[in-house]
Structure 1
Amino acid sequence: MNSRIPAVTALIEALGCDRVLSGDELRDRPCRDWSEEPSAQPLALLLPRSPQEVAAALRLCHAHRAPVVVQGGLTGLAGGANPAPGEIALSLARLNAIENFDAVGGTVIAQAGVTLQQLQEHVGTEGWSFPLDLGARGSCQLGGNAATNAGGNRVLRHGMMRQNVLGLEVAMADGTLVDMLDRVIKNNAGFDLKQLFIGSEGTLGVITRLSLKLEPARRASSTALCGVRSFQAATRLLRLAKEMLPGLTAYELMWDGFFRASAQAQGRRPPLDGHFPLYVLLESQGHAAPVCDSAMQEFLANALEDGCVEDAVIASSIEQAAGLWGFREGIAELLAHLKPCVAFDVSVALVKMNDLVEELRSDLEARFPHIAHLFFGHLGDGNLHLISGPYAAPEDREAVEKLVYARVGRYRGSISAEHGVGRLKKAYLPMSRNAGELALMARLRNCLDPQGILNRGRVLEA
């Protein structure tokens, strides 16, 4: 008999059949994330409706030594949510309540399964905003955003998810439910325990509820697309933007290859005449449209006079702004044309980014001359993305991964800027973390989950 069956039986008895699906009930259920990492059908899919039920499920899994893979919105790109053979999947999709919204102090307590878009729309009705923003906003969940320390398009102004979390409630591997739901910004009463779980990718505990800080909603925004001649010009433009645009929220850089490929994949005509080596997408937000637009126009006039911008266009409507963002966010269409491909999410000091891109481009084009190598990223926070493909042979994809991560390691960068490590990048973690750091991570994990049931084989070796 399969040794995991008693665990599934115990879970059904404790939680009920509507909370525990298995066998044929899983046939048409999505169980994998957006990565191309292998995925197996789990022994069971748990669908608890409260933090207490999450804790009860983990208590039973701990007693039966049954490994658990935690699943949020399944929008990850590192294979962390994909079940391995013999695992039980724990979905947080039904923990989707916004429990307490303080429209005076600008805080909110929400369950982990609330989607990012659901929260944004909910608090927006009272003139507040949650500043984290991702292309997957309609599907990604707040618990997953915290577990992976999500970044997104507005890190330049608002920071990563970590900077927007006041407190957490976490279900530990043994079923203990720990309440750390602070609603204050300043709290130096002992260790800041929530930071252990933010970015730990579900390996130390399962986030069930979050206390989040909000920002007053900015009703106006101005978006512009610029053509620039060099990386040095792009960095000069960034400094000028920081000086002249106090509401600067996004500064996205697209190399020409990515920009043209994105336009072609979407069947769209670029809004600027001619071709430029690099394109910059800027967004500035404010409380009054005339002031916001005037600041952008003055900034671009200075940038053109300075020579760091060759040509530019400012969106004159919400629809045009969405159209400009579409060139940067057309990843799904690109991936459809380039699969099977390798997608990278790395970071490096800004002063080293251009050297890294040039070396990677030279190495990749020399070894794989007929493959597309497309670079883009969040220049304001040093986050570089690369899509390389299509590759028919798995060994070629592995060779590309080794090449890219080795280069990033030599530049003392990170192999994962915002998407997490999961299973996909686990083997390359030593290129960004030294032996002492890896040993301390392992000690923390073994202390909080001594049986190793939570997201086993993710981030660190089992």
Structure 2
Amino acid sequence: MSDVLLKALIQALGDERVLHGAAIEDRYRTDWSGQYHHDPLAVVRVQGTEDVATTLRLCHAHRHPVTVQGGMTGLVGGGQTGVGDVVISLERLAGVQEIDADAATMTVWAGTPLQAVQEAALEQHLYFAVDLGARGTCQVGGNISTNAGGNRVIRYGMMREQVLGLEVVLADGTIVTSLNKMLKNNAGYDIKQLFIGAEGTLGIITRAVLRLHPAPEQTTCALCVLPSYEAVLRFLSRARKQCGASLLAFEAMWPDFYGFMTRLPGIETPVQADGQLVVLVECDSGPSGLSQDAFETFVEQALEGEEITDAAIASSLKQAQAFWKIRDSVSEFPVRLSPYTSFDVSLPIRQIGRFVEQLREQLQSRIPGSVSLYFGHVGDSNLHVVVHVPRESGGFPKPLIEEVVYGLVGDYQGSVSAEHGIGTRKKAWLGHTRNEAEISLMSRIKQALDPLGILNPGKVL
């Protein structure tokens, strides 16, 4: 049956678009993690919506599983192929179709790299609000399918808030084109919401209409030292009141994380934390934002109110970049902190401080010698956790670490995935965040849109 499908794909799309056998490069067999190398039946490098529809019609007719692949930068195995799957690669489905400066929208193909979208918007003096470290490789379709977030969610919201319309191909090859450009459109169900965050399990996104914003012409930031998480909450409240819509980022770093990062080669230490928390706060300081004087007043008043004990305000772009380097140099973890595992979770904002304390205690109690680091966006309830166990402690107890972390997330009624998705690696823990009725409803939606279960099988549910 597989041979028949392969011949049908080649006949319909041609040898050049359908890779098989030795022609399949290793990059299609796994993602950046290098785990689970599986051989697909074929890799279809689609070049348009009709190619996607043709591929799905054939796979649906043969009841054959399909894996969707974008930039392969995901962290939960969502793009990893199963043995013998047909891979639909969106790498050739790239490009900006249109920018409507009057409506502040952009229509793009799903395979367009995020950085290309950002640069195209800036050429029109506009701004695309989602930004990730993998911007040069990750694709817009994947960003939408995982409802990506990033550092500036506190001002602009998640990827969901940046999408006005979508074109999607369903499991049976049906093309649903709903490239809405209007901010207000209440004509029936908002169909696009089904596919945003669905990780390719309900349909394959081929095009999107993205919402753009005025570009921040200038920003200013500060590193602030805080004595407690309660002080962080008070400082966040002040930032929201005094900075308003100018507030772009509010990044909290716990003492272990800040200490680890500032000991790395090439990282400066602008402020001494001495076991306290550090917050990186950034504001728009352009013509429509908060003035430099107002920003400095905001920081000074927080010092006077004893919410912060010390602060350093960036006096140049170079210094601001140095501040951000402390927060963003997490790529050093594999080199400096191996073996380790990381977590992307959400908690009610007021409870994050207590969660950190309790999780650190539980990890040290159940896994002696373990080291845990904590940092996150906080203003949008997102916390990142990194857990390291030295090699001399024996085998790396990842299942036990996950049990401790996700068990406590469940106790706090948080989310096991803030912005990375579920994929295969968090699937076992979905029940810690979603109740039986919610999971049952997800299954019913999946059954309705993909009754044969061919789209990204084994992912999410």
Task: Give me the TM-score of the superposition, normalised by structure 2.
Answer: 0.96
Indicate the SS of the match to 1:114: coil
- What runs of 5+ residues in structure 2 fail to find an aligned partner? none
Pairwise CA distance, 1:36: 6.2
Per the alignment, do residues 315 and 31 of structure 1 end up closer, same or farther by CA in structure 2, a change over 3 Å counting?
Answer: farther
Indicate the SS of the match to 1:385: strand
Higher mean C-alpha deviation, range 290-299 or range 41-50: 290-299
Pairwise CA distance, 1:337: 2.3
1:236 aligns with 2:237: no
Indicate the SS of the match to 1:174: coil
- CA distance in 2 between counterparts of 1:255 and 1:278 reads 5
- CA distance in 1 between counterparts of 2:439 and 2:289 reads 51
1:319 aligns with 2:301: no
- CA distance in 1 between counterparts of 2:402 and 2:33 reads 14
Contact 1:172 1:178 survives alignment (8 Å): yes
Aligned residue pair count: 458
> Partner residue of 1:197?
195
- CA distance in 1 between counterparts of 2:9 and 2:291 reads 55
- CA distance in 2 between counterparts of 1:147 and 1:353 reads 27
- CA distance in 2 between counterparts of 1:56 and 1:394 reads 47
Indicate the SS of the match to 1:330: helix
Percent of aligned pairs with the same residue? Answer: 45
- CA distance in 2 between counterparts of 1:149 and 1:88 reads 24
Matching residue's letter, 1:338:
L
Indicate the SS of the match to 2:27: coil
- CA distance in 2 between counterparts of 1:375 and 1:176 reads 45
> Partner residue of 2:455?
454
Per the alignment, do residues 14 and 71 of structure 1 end up closer, same or farther by CA in structure 2, a change over 3 Å counting?
Answer: same
Contact 2:73 2:138 survives alignment (8 Å): yes
> Partner residue of 2:40?
42
Pairwise CA distance, 1:395: 6.7
Per the alignment, do residues 65 and 30 of structure 1 end up closer, same or farther by CA in structure 2, a change over 3 Å counting?
Answer: closer
- CA distance in 1 between counterparts of 2:274 and 2:456 reads 46
Indicate the SS of the match to 1:332: helix
1:258-288 residue CA offsets vs partner (Å, 9 max, x unmatched) = 1122233444231113524211011101423
> Partner residue of 2:402?
401
Superposed, 1:77-96 pairs within 5 Å as 77-96=75-94
> Partner residue of 1:132?
130
- CA distance in 1 between counterparts of 2:396 and 2:35 reads 14
- CA distance in 1 between counterparts of 2:441 and 2:395 reads 33
Pairwise CA distance, 1:29: 3.2
1:302 aligns with 2:305: no
Higher mean C-alpha deviation, range 306-315 or range 333-342: 333-342
Indicate the SS of the match to 1:381: coil
- CA distance in 1 between counterparts of 2:242 and 2:421 reads 33
Superposed, 1:258-277 pairs within 5 Å as 258-277=257-276
Pairwise CA distance, 1:129: 0.4
- CA distance in 2 between counterparts of 1:42 and 1:319 reads 46
- CA distance in 2 between counterparts of 1:286 and 1:195 reads 33
Pairwise CA distance, 1:372: 2.1
Indicate the SS of the match to 1:380: coil
Residue of 201, 207, 210 corresponding to 1:209: 207
Task: Give me the TM-score of the superposition, normalised by structure 1.
Answer: 0.96
Pairwise CA distance, 1:291: 5.1
> Partner residue of 1:224?
222
Once superposed, which parts of structure 1, at least 4 consecutive aligned residues long, lie more than 3 Å away?
Answer: 27-31, 34-37, 288-292, 390-395
Indicate the SS of the match to 1:192: coil
1:59-111 residue CA offsets vs partner (Å, 9 max, x unmatched) = 11111111111111111000111112121211111111100110111011100
Per the alignment, do residues 369 and 205 of structure 1 end up closer, same or farther by CA in structure 2, a change over 3 Å counting?
Answer: same
Higher mean C-alpha deviation, range 269-278 or range 177-186: 269-278
Contact 2:76 2:425 survives alignment (8 Å): yes
Higher mean C-alpha deviation, range 394-403 or range 248-257: 394-403
Matching residue's letter, 1:143:
G
Matching residue's letter, 1:110:
V
Indicate the SS of the match to 2:422: coil
1:88-142 residue CA offsets vs partner (Å, 9 max, x unmatched) = 2111111111001101110111000111110111110111001111111111111
Contact 2:374 2:386 survives alignment (8 Å): yes
> Partner residue of 1:279?
278
Indicate the SS of the match to 2:397: helix
